[in-house]
Homo-oligomer: A and B are copies of this chain.
Amino acid sequence: MLYVKTPEDVLALIKEEFSPLGQGETVSLSAAMGRILAEDIAAGEYVPNFDRSTVDGFAVRARDTFGCTDAIPAILPLQQTVQMGQGADFPLNAEACVAVPTGGAVPKGADSVVMLEYTEDYGDGTIGISRPVAPGENMIFRGDDVFPGKVILQKGRVLSSADIGALAAIGRVRVPVVKKLTVGVISTGDELVPPEVQPCPGQIRDVNSPMLEAMLTAFGCHVINYGIVTDDEALLTQKVRQAAAECDAVLLSGGSSVGVKDAACRIIESMGRLLLHGIAIKPGKPTILGKAGPKPLVGLPGHPVAAYFITKLFVLPLLGRLSGRDMTAYTVTAKVTQSISANHGRAQYHCCRLTPRDGEVWAEPIRGKSGLITTLAGADGYFCIDRDCEGLPKNAEIQVTVCSGE
């Protein structure tokens, strides 16, 4: 029990023992969504790159409109009309105006735009203006949004659709991102059959391989699924070594019998160093973490719910660390629909269904005697009961990590 650690210690250990691999690649803008930015992105130019009108109207010098009213409009000759998409590389004449569309270029010397609604075209080449504008009104100046050198996105960020828009705006169509990690997944257990096989008595279907493959793929990893290996130490050693050679990280799940657990420890130790054996959380205690060179080797519990939580709580942060990924996450405040007791001494995780009602969110813990899988199916999120907490009363406020669709 030498290596049993608290969740906080495990996260600290991960940070200490593992570092970003620092492998980048360049992808096109249309392939960059959801990828991790490998560098800070600074603009190389001005956005917009010209003074721009935000309305349909007439570009003027504001002072030429001061004092005008409906009764006494300012009358300015129409010098020119700027078309959409064309530059306005000419100076505005003294006491004149230039017609500009929304988004159109404003000529030099103009400092504001009068909205069309407050003007009248007299048909004789002059425009009547019935409301004054202030300097700067209804305009965006060159570089108002972005100027060269301005950092618009930071390294480590998972690119969102809005970020893709920002990259398009500054013309960054080749995007530096972190190379996807390749993660190997191995299930072990003489009782396991592939999901498509009807299990005989004594056998169960392998849940962890497809579940982990889905979770890691959604997290942005390449997954190599090595399938099911029987509880044979020589065979398992060979498979883990193969996976460690081919992947950036290896997850070995199962081996719930004592002998196999020991075998997983021995295999990991033989390949490098054992970092921990056991995490003080429920479910999920029998977890092993080791490293072979810079590569993490994780022994996950065979129980699917335990494997699920260990992967969410520790393996994803570990893979995030290897990728230099910003792992900030947020929780939703909810109230529990029923009281829950908890074990002392271990942080205890529960899946729940969420229901918004009357402006509040209610979390219904999903219970199950065996909790093989029904406590996961249809879960909207999960919450933790701290190790020092004896349980939660009905209506207690909790923080739920939403995981529907993840």
Write out the residue numbers on chain B whose beta carbons fall within 8 Å of the beta carbon of A97.
none
* A residues 178-222 in Cβ contact with B at 8 Å: 189-192, 195-215, 217-218
> CA A374 – CA B200 in complex, angstroms?
59
CB distance from A349 to the nearest CB of B (A): 12
Copies in the complex: 2
* Contact of A208 with B162 in the complex, beta carbons under 8 Å: no
Q: Decide if A330 is an interface residue (CB 8 Å cutoff).
A: yes
Q: Decide if A164 is an interface residue (CB 8 Å cutoff).
A: yes
* Contact of B164 with A210 in the complex, beta carbons under 8 Å: yes
* Contact of B85 with A152 in the complex, beta carbons under 8 Å: no
CB distance from A377 to the nearest CB of B (A): 3
> CA A138 – CA B196 in complex, angstroms?
28
* Contact of A166 with B257 in the complex, beta carbons under 8 Å: no
> CA A203 – CA B88 in complex, angstroms?
11
* Contact of A373 with B47 in the complex, beta carbons under 8 Å: yes
Write out the residue numbers on chain B whose beta carbons fall within 8 Å of the beta carbon of A158.
404-405
* Contact of A207 with B163 in the complex, beta carbons under 8 Å: no
Please list the residues of chain A having a beta carbon within 8 angstroms of any beta carbon in chain B.
29-30, 32-34, 47-50, 52, 54, 56, 82-89, 101-105, 116, 140, 144-146, 152-154, 157-171, 173, 189-192, 195-215, 217-218, 231, 256-258, 302, 304, 308, 328, 330-333, 351, 354, 356, 361, 368-374, 376-380, 400, 402-406
16 contacts between A and B (CB under 8 A): A85-B190, A87-B200, A104-B191, A105-B202, A154-B378, A158-B405, A162-B351, A162-B376, A165-B373, A165-B377, A166-B376, A169-B373, A171-B195, A171-B205, A328-B356, A332-B332
